[in-house]
Amino acid sequence: MKLVILLGAPGAGKGTQAPVLSDHLGVPFLGSGDLLRAAVAARTPLGTAADRYMSRGQLVPDATIVDIFLERLAADDARNGAVLDGFPRTRGQAEALDRALAERGKRVDLALYIDVPVDDLVARMASRRICAAKGHVYNIASNPPRMTGICDIDGSPLVQRTDDLEETVRARMSQQIPPLEDVMEHYRATGALRTVDGRRSIDEVSAALIAALEVGAAEAS
């Protein structure tokens, strides 16, 4: 079983790279938000438990989130492993996941961190524009539309989300980076952490992540 965790701050490119790793390994990509929503929609016992917290605006307990991931990892398509994104978010979650996996004779094989400086992340996200009609995504710095402010696909206006305003992005970074650093330290201590320079092109980052996977596999053999 190959269990890989993809780490990075908001805007680092996890959502772009996770499917690449999933395809390379032939295992599913499991995002925490998608898993929670699916469990709630399916009205599984764990989903119902999670929904009780979410409906009150409370955080879902670590034990419940871990159990939702473990339940998904027990599915046939995940028998050879999975790529996890969005979990664990805290050292406590990482420790809880490790304990639960150890009880099943499994472990996190690699934690791949996409490293991008905060100022670069802010610039990326503040440059993002969204098609008002269909949600097509552009970046005015790296992937601009042919006509300024207009979606290439349907001609709708492009807008900047409130979440992508510089002050909002910086506030979110200040909240999310400290716990991310704790998670990285946890996996550094276990020997699972590998770091990739996320400032390079998408293809170069993909190649570096795949190379890190192959080195990790060689070290484990």
Single-letter residue type at 213 = L
| Region 33-61 average pLDDT | 91
* Active site annotation includes 2: no
135 pLDDT higher than 70: yes
* Active site annotation includes 161: yes
> For position 179, what pLDDT does the model report?
95
What is the spatial distance between Cα 55 and Cα 66, in angstroms, rounded to a whole number? 19
220 pLDDT higher than 70: no
221 pLDDT higher than 60: no
Architecture of domain 2-117+174-220: 3-Layer(aba) Sandwich (3.40)
* Active site annotation includes 99: no
| Region 5-25 average pLDDT | 94
Q: Which of 106, 172, 188, 200 is catalytic?
A: 172
Q: Which of 89, 124, 129, 194 is catalytic?
A: 89
> For position 217, what pLDDT does the model report?
66
| Region 13-34 average pLDDT | 93
Question: According to the 3-state scheme, what is the secondary structure of the chain?
Answer: CEEEEEECCCCCCHHHHHHHHHHHHCCCEEEHHHHHHHHHHCCCHHHHHHHHHHCCCCCCCHHHHHHHHHHHHCCHHHCCEEEEECCCCCHHHHHHHHHHHHHCCCCCCEEEEEECCHHHHHHHHHCEEEECCCCCEEECCCECCCECCECCCCCCEEECCHHHCHHHHHHHHHHHHHHHHHHHHHHHHHCCEEEEECCCCHHHHHHHHHHHHHHHHHHHC
Pick 215 or 207 by higher pLDDT: 207
Domain spans, the chain: 2-117+174-220
Residues 56-98: pLDDT tens digits?
A: 988 888 889 999 999 999 899 998 999 999 899 999 999 999 9
* Active site annotation includes 128: yes
Q: Which of 124, 128, 129, 194 is catalytic?
A: 128
210 pLDDT higher than 70: yes
What is the spatial distance between Cα 118 and Cα 28, in angstroms, rounded to a whole number? 29
pTM for this model (two decimals):
0.86
For the chain, what is the mean pLDDT?
A: 92
> For position 58, what pLDDT does the model report?
87
* Active site annotation includes 14: yes
